[in-house]
Amino acid sequence: MIPAGFDYEVADSPAHALELLGSSADAKLLAGGHSLLPAMKLRVARPSLLVDIGRLAESSYVRDAGVQVAIGALTRHKDVRDAPLLREHCPIVSFTAGEIGDPQVRHRGTIGGSIAHGDPASDLPSVMLALDAELVVRGSEGERIVPAREFFTGVFQTAVGAGEMLVEIRVPKLGASTGWSYVKMTRRAQDWATVAVAAIVERSNGSIERAAIALTNMGGTTLRATAAEEAIASGTPIDEAAALIPEGTEPPSDYAASAEFRLHLAEVLGKRALAEALER
């Protein structure tokens, strides 16, 4: 379908982007366009003004930030996948960026767009939630840091308010005792996840002491599997704890899978993710 009519402006800096964003009540930022343009073609989104931030080279970076790695919101999935700093200090992020879509999607889509879009089927939001990442949001009043646990508020909804933009993503550097895994089940190689599980674990003497488990496509937003996390923290073996992973979720039924099958997948993939994180 052809999108409804809209105006188009190119931002030459983040400050300019915010100025343009504030000039129209239903303006939208355009980053890689790989989620927004399909939504406009379906007329699910009808912004009157598109503010193109896709050329802001200064907002595409991966930097050492002490105990964290800072990633500019306009960094493309391919560059996140290839960043040596992430591969060394937070490999779950680079690994997962490499699991997104196909080469065309990874060359255009951005980490900021992926996180700000708030799609419960997207991969990087779950990784951010499992890592307890920090999201830096900028508006006319300045910047604020939003913890990932408070960022994803509903289906296609996040803590980024009208007139604000996500400018940076901060992920922790993982120590030697920390294991990780992202296990994604798709119907076809380049699809969105039918279900996926992100696991970050703290290991001691060959077993898991603590785990952070986040679920993709198991509800209206990415979710933490808190019942399973609590069971692991109190010494329950992985296999038993994994049975608790679907607790509290409300997965959708759609062309890819029934809700019932997703509940089953969450347990099976969760078990695999925990076992892989223990070894990795």
Residues that bind ligand FAD (CB under 6 A): 28-36, 73, 100-101, 105, 109-110, 112-114, 116-117, 119, 122-124, 160, 165-166, 192
Min CB(111)–ligand FAD separation in Å? 8
Q: Which is nearer to ligand FAD, 157 or 177 (CB)?
A: 157
Q: Which is nearer to ligand FAD, 60 or 122 (CB)?
A: 122
Min CB(247)–ligand FAD separation in Å? 24
Min CB(101)–ligand FAD separation in Å? 3
Q: Which is nearer to ligand FAD, 89 or 108 (CB)?
A: 108
Q: Which is nearer to ligand FAD, 100 or 131 (CB)?
A: 100
Q: Which is nearer to ligand FAD, 105 or 268 (CB)?
A: 105
Min CB(96)–ligand FAD separation in Å? 8
CB burial of 78-98 (b: ≥16 within 10 Å; e: otherwise) equals bbbbebebbeebbebbbbbbe
